[in-house]
Amino acid sequence: MTQKIHSVCVIGGGSAGTMAVLRTVLNNDDCLFFPGSPKNKKRSRAMWVKKVENMPSHLQYKRGIEEPNAETLKWILESDFKDKLTLNKNTGVTSLKKENGVFHITDSKNNLHFAKFVILCTGVMDVQPEIQGSIEKVFDFANAQTIDYCLICDGHHSLNKDVSVIGHSNGAAWVSIMLSERYAPKSMHILTNGKTPEFESDTKRLIEIYGIRVVESPIESINGEDKGHILKSFTLQDKTQVKTDLCFISLGMIIYNELAKEAGADLDERGFVKTTDSGETNIPGLYVAGDLRANAKKQIYTAWDHAVSAANAINMKLRASRRPI
Ligand SMILES: Cc1cc2nc3c(=O)[nH]c(=O)nc-3n(C[C@H](O)[C@H](O)[C@H](O)COP(=O)(O)OP(=O)(O)OC[C@H]3O[C@@H](n4cnc5c(N)ncnc54)[C@H](O)[C@@H]3O)c2cc1C
């Protein structure tokens, strides 16, 4: 028996992937879906997002991506469109290749699948600081959102706070400048955690003008209470105490572009996947949505918009291929 060739395969079950699945089945197209293995999920931003305050209608969720996504999948699986979705729960994709005009998709359970179109939504992850050789020290605080990563999402938490930014790049310095200009926090420190600052001269001048203190000694400990819900200070190896009740980490991103690379997609100089406006890569039929896509805001609503553009562009091609004239 020859194996089915699905119309669309969605890889990744975060913001972009779930919207791509929803739009694909609402377009009445058949959709093969891999939300990711437990390991993929644990390493995804979707898992780390708690309360989402910068979008309407999200405040009731304690986990602002996982909970609404689960509701959406449940609805699809109870709807008239349920037969359009083949959900491979807790399964990731380990290989993606296009051969003879069809995508060959190997999953984490070593099964091979086929699809005409793919929407790749594997996302990115923020780099964590090493404190005494381990990244685990930040986890409680990150889970409690006293350590944040995303300016557009959580920058507003800086109001009336003692804020620190961990990072040493010019970009990290700009995070501290932007937060200072926008929210005038009580104090602002940049903790380079033992690294030499890479700030440009204009950036250095603004740091000076705004009274931002740059400290280079490595971080020895993070001090807080209540499983990270209260952040109090950082102790540095030179024994300086930096009073902090909110921290941003600005160390760059790990980009989950392995499948895109294997399929032959073009990347930009940082490793994000280059696409057209509808999200198509240089590999015909391979679309990318969400944080993985180059030149885009890294936000839930942008991921949704990408996913809808990709699913609609694919639907247009599928309809055209079936049209009688
Ligand atoms: C702490 C934090 C707070 C944030 N808060 C907000 C906010 O308040 N508002 C906002 O708009 N944005 C927020 N963001 C940004 C938001 O999380 C991202 O923009 C959004 O999650 C991007 O969606 P995505 O689908 O591209 O990636 P993700 O949502 O991270 O999803 C990636 C998916 O890919 C899957 N995956 C990875 N590899 C594979 C594989 N090989 N096979 C199959 N599946 C795979 C994972 O399991 C996961 O399901 C926040 C980010 C962080 C880190």
| Cα(110) to centroid(ligand 1), Å | 25
* CB-facing half-sphere around the CA of 137: CA atoms within 13 A: 15
Q: 288 to each of 95, 185, 314, how far by Cα in Å?
A: 16, 37, 12
| Cα(125) to centroid(ligand 1), Å | 8
Q: Give the SS3 label for residue 125.
A: strand
The residue type at 95: S
For the domain spanning 128-249, the CATH number is: 3.50.50.60
Q: Which two tokens stand for residue 169?
A: 């790049």
| Cα(14) to centroid(ligand 1), Å | 5
Instruction: Give me the pLDDT at residue 1, please.
Output: 58
Instruction: Give me the pLDDT at residue 2, please.
Output: 72
Question: Are 5-125+253-322 and 128-249 the same fold in CATH?
Answer: yes
Q: What whole-number distance in Å separates Cα of residue 240 and Cα of residue 45?
A: 32
Helical spans, DSSP H, in 4-109: 15-26, 38-42, 45-48, 66-78
* CB-facing half-sphere around the CA of 50: CA atoms within 13 A: 13
| Cα(314) to centroid(ligand 1), Å | 23
Say if residues 252 and 125 touch (Cβ distance below 8 Å). Answer: no
Say if residues 264 and 256 touch (Cβ distance below 8 Å). Answer: no
Per-residue pLDDT of the chain (325 residues; tens, 9 = 90+): 578 999 999 999 999 999 999 999 999 999 999 999 999 999 999 999 999 999 999 999 999 999 999 999 999 999 999 999 999 999 999 999 999 999 999 999 999 999 999 999 999 999 999 999 999 999 999 999 999 999 999 999 999 999 999 999 999 999 999 999 999 999 999 999 999 999 999 999 999 999 999 999 999 999 999 999 999 999 999 999 999 999 999 999 999 999 999 999 999 999 999 999 999 999 999 999 999 999 999 999 999 999 999 999 999 999 999 999 9
Q: Is the CB of 40 under 6 A from ligand 1?
A: yes
Pick among 3.40.190.10, 3.50.50.60, 3.40.50.920, 3.40.50.11540: CATH of 5-125+253-322: 3.50.50.60
Q: What whole-number distance in Å separates Cα of residue 287 and Cα of residue 119?
A: 5
- Please name the residues in contact with 134: beta carbons below 8 A apart, sequence gap of 6 or more: none
| Cα(45) to centroid(ligand 1), Å | 4
Q: What are the structural domain ranges in the chain?
A: 5-125+253-322, 128-249
Pocket test for ligand 1, best of 55, 88, 122 (most atoms within 8 A of CB): 122
Q: 122 to each of 192, 215, 224, 246, 324, how far by Cα in Å?
A: 30, 35, 33, 29, 36
Which ligand 1 atom is at minimum distance from the Cα of 289? 26
Q: Is the CB of 185 under 6 A from ligand 1?
A: no
